[in-house]
Amino acid sequence: MTPRRAHLALFLFILVALLSLTWPLSVCFAQPQPLILGLPRGLFAICCWAAATFVVLLVYDRALAKSHAQEDA
């Protein structure tokens, strides 16, 4: 992945995550039931976003590090 694509992908991820964690996308998870893995849907959605943020940042960081290594070489 080129740095430009990585930046764009991260920007889009942050935008969607922000709308999902605030408004209006969080309305989709407003009702607690049905519970997912024992959690209200709103809480489960936030946990999913936390896990997704970790994975996306990890991929983004690796993509940039790889790109910088190639530039240095």
Binding stretches for another protein (CB under 8 A):
14, 17-18, 21-23, 26-27, 29-33, 35, 37-40, 42-43, 46-47, 49-51, 53-54, 57-58, 61
Q: Are 41 and 35 in contact (CB under 8 A)?
A: yes
Nearer to another protein, 48 or 73 (CB): 48
Q: Which residues pair with 39 in a beta bridge?
A: 36
Smallest separation (angstroms) from another protein to the CB of 10? 8
Tokens representing 1 are 């992945």
Nearest-angstrom CA–CA distance, 50 and 28: 17
Written as one letter, the residue type at 37 is: L
Smallest separation (angstroms) from another protein to the CB of 7? 10
